[in-house]
Amino acid sequence: MEPLLSLFVGTFTTLLAVVNPLEALPVFLSLSKGKDVKDLRKLAFRSCLYALILIISFLVFGTFVLKIFGVNLSMVRIVGGIILMKIGFDLFMPGKPGESITDPAAGGGSSDPAFVPLAMPIMFGPGVLATVLGMTSMKSAGNELLSICVIACAAIFCMLVIFITLVSAQKIVRRIGEKGIDAATRLVGFFVASMGMGLIFHGLVEFLQTYHILVP
């Protein structure tokens, strides 16, 4: 039970940190200008729902594809950790390359901004893919189905928190301001980079043990 709880908490906190709803607030507000409270909630709900569907689909089919090609999960951890570290550094350092992702113009004139750019790539990007794969590699050998359900539940709770954050976007921005959002984003970046380093370390140790380079 304890490994499953750790898997839930680790997945939830990492997903929430990677998605970073505070960073999505300016985009959400710009896309919801002129909308009433009801339409604003609908936009937030649809964007979170789309992102959740993408996450669960990738969780199920991504694991299946890895099994087909026989990809070692220790390698998945290492690659996922590298991606998370890069995203963490980009969030922590000023002038991060990912700023263009959160540009409202990135929607490309889409008729439904809930899908592009809110759901993808803001809520479902490389960091989320790396997190899902990394956490999938940590599942228990005898409880694979249960572990996948735990990861899916963590994603649901994460999207619930993001939905509440988006609905309260105007209040949050008024309270903490742009500087507060910037400071929170940098802290989140440090956390994401740390999680990435953890995945790389554990993946590397597992890889060395698997090929008997390091004795367990």
109 domain-assigned: no
pLDDT of residue 94: 61
The answer for 94, left when phi > 0, alpha when psi is -120 to 50, beta otherwise, is beta
215 domain-assigned: no
pLDDT of residue 140: 57
Return the number of other C-beta atoms located less than 10 Å from residue 100's C-beta: 9
54 domain-assigned: yes
163 domain-assigned: yes
53 domain-assigned: yes
pLDDT of residue 157: 97
Encode burial over 39-75: b for 16+ CB neighbours within 10 A, e otherwise: ebeebbebbbebbbebbbebbeebbeebeeeeeebbb
Q: How many helices (H) and strands (E) does the chain have?
A: 7, 0
Q: 95: which residues sit within 8 A by CB, 6+ positions away?
A: none
Q: Both tokens of residue 113? A: 């901004």
56 domain-assigned: yes
Domain that holds residue 124: 2-30+37-104+114-210
Least confident of 46-50, 78-82, 97-101, 134-138: 97-101
Total structural domains within the chain: 1
Residue 102 has pLDDT above 60, yes or no: no
Residue 39 has pLDDT above 80, yes or no: yes
> What average pLDDT does the chain have?
82
Residue 61 has pLDDT above 90, yes or no: no
Share of the chain above pLDDT 90, in %: 24
156 domain-assigned: yes
pLDDT of residue 97: 42
* pLDDT tens per residue, range 112-132: 789 988 898 889 887 888 888
216 domain-assigned: no
